[in-house]
């Protein structure tokens, strides 16, 4: 078997291990399905072996692009176990939180790589395990729901309701964890993960277009990170919080503040990460989105062209991440008056495997239709615009926020709101959406927490545990009762 590369010796810090080819592993596990008594035992052993070599997710859920090679080696085995689990839910009752966490760690890796099919599959199985674990393990389950939400946020409007369900669950579980753990046992890590949950709600609001409401949520998370010794010592170079605040500021039309903060964030990211990593691409495409929205097309072009070229190397030509960069590059070229170049980029991207969701493809076709209108290709333009407008109306009627009237939005903004902010937007700040995003008392609670956090001189984890504990707040109880 070794000579045929079906079994390979692999060394780790814990010693030597044998890695089994996934075909052999799947064959053995499939045969064991016929032996129920041995099946659970062997499955548990396989999980334990893979856990020993599959790198765990960061405890505060920061991206780990530096671990891609290690995870790529082991992830096929995780997928095999995931498939076996999906087929044999009832026969594997003891599959517990460790297996769920491994699946979630794998889904985080797949998400970072832009491998969304695998990310959804492993995330769904991790959630299936959580659903049968009762009310315990709130911190671990919150990690799983947070990653599941992030994957679905990237998908666009058709997954938005699903992602909000998971965002709300993650926040509720973070708060519950603060409530049940003794103050002296609360760690800086716990508080940081709590802050992440509020940040993620803010990101969800950005995706909906409620940029002004999002700011308190995003500032609360950023204030927490700046007060955290753990974050300052180990995670200060991660750009997520200031990047999200910058996007929200741009969404409210505060371009000068947004560009200043985002430029500083981009410089800090470039100092701490290689330009070829996924973290850097997201930061630079966010800066490009802000610049094109503010009308600084030449600066935006320099940013997005480089993101597109690096994304091809990092994710591949047919990846959704690369296609999103291509869309924004075409948009910038259109704004600069280079219609033929913009047309070429979109036509090539639409003609190949591009990883786009229905939402993203509708947006690209609309943009191409507008470009063809400028080029006086009227028939082709009309067909594309009509098709994309029909998709917009259908998606909005099925999945759009009830508080946002599609008829009050200009079409360019409406198509941008179909996709996630991570896909790049060119309309930040063009339309300020007001109304109720459906959070009930949560926005008010967030504003209250932000004021309390800023005023509190003692930001030790034990003190913050008491300060941030909302379990006795009537408005929190009313909101959280609607989560489950």
- Of 49, 76, 108, the one marking the end of a domain is 108
Residue 177 lies in a domain: no
pLDDT at res. 254 = 98
In this structure, of 292-306, 308-322, 362-376, 469-483, the range with the lowest mean pLDDT score is 469-483
Residues 225-236: b if buried by 16+ CB within 10 A, e if exposed: bebbebbeebbe
Tell whether 448 is covered by a domain. no
Considering the domain boundaries, does residue 115 fall inside one? no
Please state, in angstroms and rounded to a whole number, the distance separating the CA atoms of residues 382 and 385. 5
User: Do the Cβ atoms of 311 and 280 come closer than 8 Å?
Assistant: no
Same domain, residue pair 251 and 393? yes
Asked if residue 209 is part of any domain, the answer here is: no
Whether the pLDDT of residue 193 is over 90: the answer is yes
- 44 pLDDT band, cuts 50/70/90, is confident
What pLDDT shows up at residue 162? 95
Evaluate whether residue 86 is within a structural domain.
Answer: yes
Q: Which residues contact 303 (CB under 8 A, 6 or more apart)?
A: 284, 285, 287, 288, 291
Does a structural domain hold residue 211?
no
- Domain of 401, in residue numbers: 238-437
Please report which confidence band the pLDDT of residue 20 belongs to, taking 50, 70 and 90 as the band edges: low
In a domain, 302, yes or no: yes
The predicted-structure confidence for 198-249, as pLDDT tens digits, reads as follows 999 999 999 999 999 999 999 999 999 999 998 888 887 889 999 999 999 9
Residue 397: is it exposed, middle or buried by C-beta count within 10 angstroms (0-12/13-18/19+)?
Answer: exposed
Q: Are 269 and 305 in contact (CB under 8 A)?
A: no
Q: How many domains does the chain have?
A: 2
Per residue in 97-139, pLDDT tens?
A: 999 999 999 999 999 999 999 999 999 999 999 988 887 899 9
Query: Which pTM does this prediction carry?
Result: 0.91
* List of long-range contacts for 365-370, beta carbons under 8 Å, 24+ apart: 365/391, 366/392, 366/411, 366/415, 367/327, 367/330, 367/331, 367/334, 367/342, 367/415, 368/330, 368/343, 370/334
pLDDT for residue 416: 98
User: Which one, of 439, 433, 441, 431, lies nearest residue 411 by Cα?
Assistant: 431
Domain boundary among 437, 458, 475: 437
User: Residue 327: which CATH number?
Assistant: 1.25.40.10
């Amino acid at each position: 078997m070794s000579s045929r590369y079906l079994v390979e010796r692999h060394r780790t810090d814990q010693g030597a291990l044998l890695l089994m080819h996934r075909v052999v592993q799947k064959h053995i596990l499939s045969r064991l399905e016929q032996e129920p008594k041995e099946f659970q035992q062997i499955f548990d052993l396989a999980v334990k072996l893979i856990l020993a070599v599959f790198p765990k997710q960061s405890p505060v859920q920061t991206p780990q692009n530096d671990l891609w090679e290690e995870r790529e080696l082991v992830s096929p085995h995780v997928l095999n176990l995931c498939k076996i689990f999906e087929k044999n839910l009832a026969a594997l009752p003891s599959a517990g939180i460790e297996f769920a966490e491994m699946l979630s760690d794998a889904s985080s890796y797949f998400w970072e790589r832009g491998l969304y099919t695998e990310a959804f599959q492993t995330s769904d199985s991790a959630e299936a395990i959580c659903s049968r674990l009762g009310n315990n393990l709130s911190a671990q389950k919150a990690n799983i729901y947070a990653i599941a939400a992030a994957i679905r946020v990237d998908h666009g409007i058709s997954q938005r309701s699903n992602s909000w369900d998971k965002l709300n669950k993650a926040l509720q579980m973070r708060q519950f964890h603060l409530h049940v753990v003794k103050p002296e046992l609360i760690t800086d890590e716990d508080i940081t993960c709590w802050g992440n949950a509020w940040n993620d709600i803010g990101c969800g609001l950005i995706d909906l277009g409620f940029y002004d409401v999002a700011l308190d949520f995003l500032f609360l998370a950023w204030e927490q990170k700046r007060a955290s010794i753990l974050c300052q010592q180990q995670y200060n170079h991660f750009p997520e919080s200031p990047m999200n605040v910058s996007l929200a500021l741009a969404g409210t039309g505060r371009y000068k503040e947004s560009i200043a903060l985002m430029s500083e964030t981009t410089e800090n990211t470039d100092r701490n990460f290689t330009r070829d990593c996924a973290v850097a691409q997201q930061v630079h495409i966010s800066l490009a989105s802000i610049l094109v929205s503010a009308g600084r097309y030449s600066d935006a072009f320099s940013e997005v062209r480089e993101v597109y070229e690096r994304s091809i190397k990092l994710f591949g030509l047919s990846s959704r991440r690369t296609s999103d960069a291509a869309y924004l590059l075409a948009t910038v070229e259109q704004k600069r008056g280079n219609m033929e170049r913009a047309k070429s980029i979109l036509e090539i991207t639409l003609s190949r495997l591009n990883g786009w969701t229905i939402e993203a493809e509708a947006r690209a076709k609309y943009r191409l239709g507008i470009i063809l209108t400028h080029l006086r290709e009227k028939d082709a333009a009309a067909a594309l615009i009509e098709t994309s407008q029909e998709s917009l109306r259908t998606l909005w009627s099925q999945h759009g926020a009830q508080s946002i009237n599609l008829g009050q939005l200009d079409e360019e903004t409406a198509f941008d709101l179909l996709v996630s902010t991570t896909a790049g937007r060119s309309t930040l700040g063009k339309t300020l959406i007001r109304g109720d995003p459906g959070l009930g008392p949560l926005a008010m609670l967030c504003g209250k927490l932000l004021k309390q956090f800023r005023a509190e001189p003692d930001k030790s984890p034990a003190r913050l545990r008491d300060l941030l504990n909302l379990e006795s707040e009537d408005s929190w109880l009313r909101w959280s009762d609607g989560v489950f």
